[in-house]
Each structure stands twice: as structure tokens, then as C-alpha cells.
Amino acid sequence: KAGVTQTPRYLIKTRGQQVTLSCSPISGHRSVSWYQQTPGQGLQFLFEYFSETQRNKGNFPGRFSGRQFSNSRSEMNVSTLELGDSALYLCASSSWGREDALDEQFFGPGTRLTVL
Amino acid sequence: AQKITQTQPGMFVQEKEAVTLDCTYDTSDPSYGLFWYKQPSSGEMIFLIYQGSYDQQNATEGRYSLNFQKARKSANLVISASQLGDSAMYFCAMREGGGTYKYIFGTGTRLKVLA
């Protein structure tokens, strides 16, 4: 079974631009979560989608948005990029379908975004 | 509020020896899961082991075992017979039940295995 894939792997943008990152979950997984990882803040939860619905959101400004398609693929968008948005963005998929399901998440390789 | 604490920023271990990475957590939810992930320099997070709050026995996966002490709210990872390839960042994470659908991660421990 193929793992979680993320594209692109590396991205360089300038301040003020916007960026879209893509994530394809493991086949059969309907939940996709996004995390931002920086040396200073560690791993921080951005949002989680299940069946095209956002179920939970972290404490990030509205410049960070996401969506999920009917095939469970997900995209996240960051508008008006700032220098502080430079980070590794990780996507994770899970089969979570019930509130009390404590399945593990499987992570993709990440997209390393550099904002100049 | 849920919280994960990893107090060891860095650890060294000699090849073939065992090492324990500490993790304490805080939650008021009786239903939760505890996870350990390994992140090599390549950046990908690799799932290692899982412990559910209602599990009676400590989880084990090959050379990895989780020392789960519920009353103390600790979930330490034990790696036996360390290998050079074990050098990486290790993250402890927790997910509560009740529909939160998100993980909280600790700050990680960087493990270096010495030859």
C-alpha cells in the first residue's frame, strides 16, 4: 500500500505570495491532518479534515486554510506569506471514523517551505 | 488542557545498549492514546508504537517498548539494543478521545547512538 505523498517536496516563495501544498493520503484513509514544524515552535496542529469537512482547527491565522476533496486528497493554502511561515509542513492520514477511535496517524515526507 | 512534556532535549547511547526516552502527559480525558514517532534527518515522521489509556499491558513493537505508568502519567519509550540507525529525533504525542481529532506533540528528544 502506498504511503502518504506530499507535493511539492521543496518550495521557495517570497513574502506576500501565496502557496498551495498538496497531500494524498493512504488509500482508504478519510482523515487528513496538517502540521507545521519549526525549530522554535515544534510541531503544531493546523487542521484536520474528514470526508471533506474540517473537524478541528489549530491556533493559526486565517491566512492558513485547507480543503479536502471527495477522493480524500487535501490541499492547504497559505496566503500573504510571511518570513515566519518558513517551516516543514507535514500531512498525516488516518482512518479515523469514530470519536473514540485512537488509530495512529501516518505521515508524509513533508513540504519544506522557505519564504524569502 | 492536554500537554506533552519531553524533558530530555538530547541523549547519547552506546551502540547495542538500551535507552529510555522520557515522556509525561497531562489530560483530564479518561480516553486517550499515546504515540511515539521517530523523525530522521530526512524529515519524515515514522510511527513507532502506540499505547491506549485502557490498555492493561505495556505496548511492544520489536526493539521498542512503552513503559506506561498511568498513575504517574508517564509513557516512556525504551529502545533496546540501540543501532546507529536509531539516531534521530523522537517525539511523544497524545490524542484524546471525544472527537478532538488532533495530536499534541512534545518538543522531542534528539538521540545520538555512538559506535
- What percentage of residues in chain B have a pLDDT greater than 70? 96
* Bridge pairing between strands B10-14 and B109-114: parallel
Residue B102 to residue A104, Cβ atoms within 8 A: no
Query: CB-based burial of residue A3 (10 Å sphere; 0-12 exposed, 13-18 middle, 19+ buried)?
Result: middle
Query: Given this model, what pLDDT does residue A100 score?
Result: 52
Q: pLDDT tens for residues A31-57?
A: 899 999 998 888 999 999 988 999 889
The confidence score (pLDDT) of residue B12 equals 96
What type of residue is B36? W
Chain B CB contacts of A31 under 8 Å are: 101
Q: What is the pLDDT of residues A57-89, one digit of tens each?
A: 999 999 999 999 999 999 999 999 999 999 999
- How many beta-carbon pairs below 8 A join chains A and B? 63
- C-alpha separations of A42 from A72, A86, B75, B85, B99 in Å: 26, 13, 20, 23, 23
Residue A97: per-residue pLDDT = 57
How many Cα neighbours within 13 Å face the side chain of A51? 4
Range with the poorest average pLDDT among A23-27, B8-12, B43-47, B83-87: B43-47
Nearest-angstrom CA–CA distance, A94 and A73:
12
Cis peptide, bond prior to residue A25, ω within 30 of zero: no
- How many angstroms away from the CA of B39 is the closest CA of chain A? 10
Q: Which chain B positions have a beta carbon within 8 Å of A99's beta carbon?
A: 97-99
Spell out which residues of chain A touch residue B91, defining contact as CB-CB under 8 Å.
43
pLDDT in tens, B54-110: 888 999 999 999 999 999 999 999 999 999 999 999 999 998 766 667 789 999 999
